[in-house]
Chain A
Amino acid sequence: MNYTTAQSGDTIKVDLVGRFTFGDHSSFRKLIEEIRGQSAETQILDLSGVEFIDSAGLGMLLLARDEGEKIRATVILKGAQGQVKRMLEVARFDTLFKLED
């Protein structure tokens, strides 16, 4: 998994690309540290570039949500498609995150 971040106003947008699986420990850790350093009220994780996610990847998204809550930021999952969308539905992430198309 690779990512790029962009901030505008009080919104930070993170574009994630590639496969997001159990082996993505270090890149995810870097990502969290990066968004933690910025004070944004809204954190948009754009998943449109993610082609595959496993349950460990879902676990990492939950971690991002916990971290967001600590600084009172809203975490939005955006643009999930295909398998990723299916996984979010199976895990009922709609009850935990704000999901956007």
Chain B
Amino acid sequence: MSPAGETFPRPRVAIAEPVNHDRVSAILAGKQIFDDGAGAEADLSFGRSPEDFQHGNRYQLCLIPQESSREWLGALVRLNCNYFIESFDQIDLRDLGPIRTAQRGAKWDLLVCMSTQSAYQLPMARKFVTALRHRGIIHDTIAPTVEMAVQEAFANSLVHGNLELDTTGHLTMDRFNALGEETARRLEAPAYGGRVIMLTAKKRRNGNVEISINDQGNGFTPPPEKPAPKLPGSESTFGRGLPLIRSLCQNVSFERGGRTIKLTFTPDTKASMPLNSNFAAGVEEAEKAIGESDLRNPRDATILIADDAMISREIIASYLRSDGFTNLVFAKDGEDALEQVRKHNPDLIILDIIMPKMDGYAVCKALRADPAYAETPIIAQTALEENEGRTRIFEDGATDLILKPLNKAELIARTRIHLENRLLVKQLQAYQERTQSELELARDMQEMLIPKPEQYRGIGLDYGMTISASFQMSSELGGDMWGLAPIDKDRLGVYIVDFAGHGLGAALNTFRLHSLIWSEEDRGEDPGTYLEALNRHLKGLLPVGQYATMLYGVIDRAKETFRYASAACTSPVLGNIKTGSTVFLDGSGVPLGVIRDAQYETRELTFTTDNFLLLYSDALIETVLDDGVFLEDDRLLKMVHNIVTETNGSTDLASNLADQFMDRAPVKLHDDFTVVSLQSADISGPKAS
């Protein structure tokens, strides 16, 4: 039970399939993760990919499987969860646990914990940094620096810490090879390979980001800080990580006897942090809801009168009451004024400048520094007639100035005008918020046009295929869409659409086209003819100047063909899983909605069980990546080739490609992003030809 009789909601845990149920329940029931044993009563959700978990849900913990950790690293970016832990048999957090206590709740903004064996094979540092970027914890501009430092620290903790390998001294090829073999042996040995490595990140209130890398090795005494040797002579660069790390971050410190290395980064002050509404960056700093009074009528406004002289307060109050303002609160000095503001959140403040404890200038400054009161109108009253005082009070944030002795009509006029302004601003804000929520609704509706993972996987299975997809909208609404249209037991139709532009207009058009696609009877016979019919309908519906690119194709499993027609779609990639070879197909054709009688050619090619097909929207090839170049032409083919050869053609090509793209793309995309891949399922049974 938690202290003080407080009740905490049951933790929500996302569990990645395939699941080893015994292992998962053992991990959750223990007190290494939740110190109060709350894991035993957790609310569990299961899914085969990060897409399977509802976007709106927030999870306290995600357990990723040992067997397919690679695919699940993508969840760091895509799942609304702070803590990711690999579930493996020997997992023992020892002094690293518990990671979540009933008293403190989440301690870190992001935590990843894996076995040495898995971590060694995975680009963990990179995924960790990508996730920090996407959660708005670090800015794009400092990400490359952070990644280099984390990679070095991570490699050190893994190789020197958990695996206890000695890489100092001159490295010959023989020693390198021996080291490689010893590494492989130790990775297999539970005593080393089963040790845990944990990466955590926390954004401090001052904007600094602290990243720690924790291992379970013997620890070490950090060498005194000294400049890196000028020339990298024959000494191995394996041991040169620490000077490099020191040159990359603001501070490096060690804890747990050298088993924890802590890196501190200060934010790039030139660039502001992008806020990603999907993730709460500072968990502790949950937004406090400010109880806004519903300000429909200026007479209902709450007005704070701050003046050290009782008689002055009474005069102002009587003037205001006579005009119908009755919601008045008072403060007798500067400190009291700030306290009353926090208590009542007034709609207007009438502030005296010369006051004890804290003068009006300081009150103004303090209020303006707090975002909650940055817009509250402040009328400063003063006997000062010289210009200096006037200028200064405006500089410190006053909205208006009124001279003592007060003139009743002037006070009332100014009060009214500022309250009305305030009212207008508030209404405008409310309007914007409403529009925002309507956009979100439309966004949800649009996401429904896209097949869900269980749908496309299920359809894939029906055709003996593995289908994988990744979809991300740029702004609230997008113009991308894709889908599957089963025709008969051998033939599966697939389409991908990109309407020009994004936002509301493009989204409406995707709805239009979606209903056309699903009302059109005959999709099977000829893709070219089908696009021609679709184009004729769409031309009638679309305003001049709006158009879409689209590809529609039919995979025929019996005839082993792919027949398609394209309306200026991006060139699909056709590849061979066994050889890793890749080619672009012809994507040329007139966009939909441009001319009424556009003709579309049906193109046909062989598509066997060895082939895979990749469809994508232009965001994939028209986004400037971290090296300043687009991912187009040969670079895309190379990347696809590498994924296929690295994963031996195993599943989820599109997710893998999307993950690599996200690693290198800016957080905010300018266009919708869609990638879909189709290939034969990885089943070794003979396929009827």
Q: Which one, A2, A62, A82, A83, contacts B237 given CB within 8 A? A: A62
Smallest Cβ-Cβ distance to A19: which chain B residue:
B123
Number of A-B contacts (CB under 8 A): 89
A51-B627, A91-B237, A96-B232 known; A63-B171 Cβ under 8 A = yes
- Known pairs A2-B646, A25-B183; A83 contacts B173 (CB<8 A): no
Query: A8 on the interface (CB 8 Å rule)?
Result: no
> Is B240 within 8 A of A55, CB to CB?
yes
Is there contact, CB below 8 Å, between A55 and B152? Answer: yes
Inter-subunit contact B230/A92 (CB<8 Å): yes
Whether A55 touches B627, Cβ cut-off 8 Å, given contacts A25-B183, A63-B176, A66-B172, is no
Q: Are A63 and B173 in touch, CB under 8 angstroms?
A: yes
Contact A17 B638 (CB under 8 A): yes
With a CB–CB cut-off of 8 A, which chain A residues contact B180? 25-26, 29
Q: Kindly specify which of B84-92, B143-151, B263-271, B510-518 makes contact with the partner chain.
A: B143-151
Q: Is the CB of B232 within 8 A of A91?
A: yes
Whether the Cβ atoms of A92 and B231 lie closer than 8 Å is yes
The verdict on A54 contacting B173 (CB below 8 Å), with A25-B183, A59-B238 known, is no
Name the CB-closest residue of B to A61: B237
Are B232 and A54 in contact (CB-based, < 8 A)? Answer: no
Q: For A18, A54, A91, which residue has the most chain B Cβ atoms within 10 angstroms?
A: A54
Q: Is the CB of A29 within 8 A of B155?
A: no
**Which residue from B151, B244, B626 sits with its C-beta under 8 Å from A82?**
B626
What's the Cα separation between A90 and B246 when bound, in Å? Answer: 13
**Residue from the list A22, A49, A81, A82 in contact with B159, Cβ < 8 A:** A22
A42 close to B (CB within 8 Å): no
In the complex the two chains form, is B155's CB within 8 Å of A54's CB? yes
Residue among A17, A22, A32, A82 with the highest chain B CB neighbour number at 10 A: A22
Cα separation A93 to B183 with both chains bound (whole Å) = 27
Q: Which of A1-36 contact B (CB under 8 A)?
A: 2, 17-19, 21-23, 25-26, 29, 32
Is B561 among interface residues, defined by CB-CB distance under 8 A?
A: no
Verify A22–B664 contact, CB threshold 8 A: no
Residues of B within 8 A of A71 (CB): none
B120 within 8 A of A: yes
Q: How far is the CB of B3 from chain A (nearest CB, A)?
A: 44
Residues of chain B lying within 8 A (CB to CB) of residue A83: 144, 147-148
Kindly state the separation between the CA atoms of A62 and B176 in the bound complex, as whole angstroms: 12
Neighbouring A residues of B203 by C-beta, 8 Å: none
Q: In the complex, how many angstroms separate the beta carbon of A27 from the nearest chain B beta carbon? A: 10
A41 at interface by CB-CB < 8 Å? no
Q: Is the interface of B mostly helix, strand, loop or mixed?
A: helix
Give CA–CA (A97, B148) in the complex, Å: 22
- Contact between B244 and A55, CB atoms less than 8 A apart: yes
- Chain A residue numbers with a CB within 8 Å of B628 are 82
Residues of B within 8 A of A66 (CB): 172-173
Residue from the set B123, B158, B230, B247 with the largest chain A CB neighbour count within 10 Å: B123
Interface contact A55-B664, CB-CB below 8 Å: no
User: Which residues of B (155-208) have their CB < 8 Å from a CB of A?
Assistant: 155, 158-159, 171-173, 176-177, 179-180, 183-184
Nearest B-chain residue to A67, judged by Cβ? B173
Q: Which B residues, 280 to 331, have Cβ-Cβ distances below 8 Å to chain A?
A: none
Q: Which residue of B lies closest to A84 (CB)?
A: B627
Separation in Å of the A5 CB from the closest CB of chain B?
A: 15
The binding surface of chain A is classed by DSSP as helix
Chain A's nearest CB lies how many Å from the CB of B171?
6
Beyond A51-B664, A92-B232, whether A59 also contacts B147 by CB under 8 A is no
- Is B121 an interface residue, CB under 8 A from the partner? yes
Smallest CB gap from A49: residue in B: B638
Q: Does residue B241 face the partner (Cβ distance < 8 Å to A)?
A: yes
Known: A23-B121, A63-B171. A56 touches B238 (CB 8 A): yes
Among B126, B176, B232, contact of A52 (Cβ-Cβ < 8 Å):
B126
Partner of A17, one of B147, B230, B240, B642: B642
Q: Is B427 an interface residue (CB 8 A)?
A: no
Contacts of B642 in A (CB 8 A): 2, 17-18
Q: How does the 8 Å CB contact mask read for B447-479 relative to A, with 1 for contact and 0 for none?
A: 000000000000000000000000000000000
- Cα–Cα distance between A60 and B231 once the two chains are bound (Å): 16
CA distance A55 to B231 in the complex (A): 14
Interface string of B408-423 (1 = CB under 8 A from A): 0000000000000000
Counting CB contacts under 8 A, is B609 at the interface? Answer: no
Q: Is B148 within 8 A of A54, CB to CB?
A: yes
Q: How far is the CA of A29 from the CA of B179 in the complex (A)?
A: 11
A69 nearest CB across to chain B (Å): 11
A56/B244 contact (C-beta < 8 A), A82-B627, A91-B232 known: no
Report the minimum CB–CB distance from A49 to chain B (whole Å). Answer: 7
In the docked arrangement, what's the CA distance between A18 and B148, Å?
15
Q: Is the CB of A99 closer than 8 A to any CB of chain B?
A: no
Whether A54 lies near B231 (C-beta < 8 A) is no
Among the interface residues B172, B179, B230, B238, which one has the most CB atoms of the partner chain A within 10 A?
B238
Residue of B nearest to A2 (CB): B642
0/1 interface trace, chain A 85-101, chain B, CB 8 Å (1 if under): 00100111101100000
Give the residues in chain A near B123, CB-CB below 8 Å: 19, 21
* Other-chain residue from B155, B172, B177, B638 in contact with A56 (beta carbon distance below 8 A): B155
Contact A32 B237 (CB under 8 A): no
Residues of B within 8 A of A54 (CB): 148, 151-152, 155, 241
- Smallest beta-carbon distance B115→chain A, Å: 14
| Chain A: minimal CB distance from B180 (Å) | 4
Interface residues of B in 625-642 (CB under 8 A from A): 626-628, 638, 642
Contact of B176 among A29, A82, A91, A92 (CB under 8 A): A29
Residue A76, interface by CB 8 Å: no
Establish whether residues B237 and A52, one from each chain, have CB atoms under 8 Å apart when the complex forms. no
Q: Does B236 contact A (CB under 8 A)?
A: yes
A58 within 8 A of partner (CB): yes
B237 touches A58 (CB 8 A): yes
Complex Cα gap A23–B148 (Å): 15
Minimum distance in angstroms from A75 CB to a CB of chain B: 14
How far is A54 from B126 in the complex, measured between Cα atoms in Å? 12
20 A-B pairs (CB sep. < 8 Å) = A2-B645, A19-B126, A22-B158, A25-B176, A25-B183, A26-B180, A29-B177, A55-B240, A56-B159, A58-B240, A60-B176, A62-B236, A63-B171, A63-B172, A63-B173, A63-B176, A82-B626, A83-B148, A90-B247, A91-B237
Instruction: Report which A residues bind B (CB closer than 8 A).
Output: 2, 17-19, 21-23, 25-26, 29, 32, 49, 51-52, 54-56, 58-60, 62-63, 66-67, 81-83, 87, 90-93, 95-96
The 4 closest A-B pairs by CB, nearest first: A25-B180, A59-B237, A22-B155, A82-B627
Given contacts A25-B184, A83-B144, 13 further A-B contacts (CB under 8 A): A19-B126, A22-B155, A23-B120, A54-B155, A55-B155, A58-B232, A59-B238, A62-B232, A62-B237, A63-B173, A81-B627, A82-B627, A83-B147
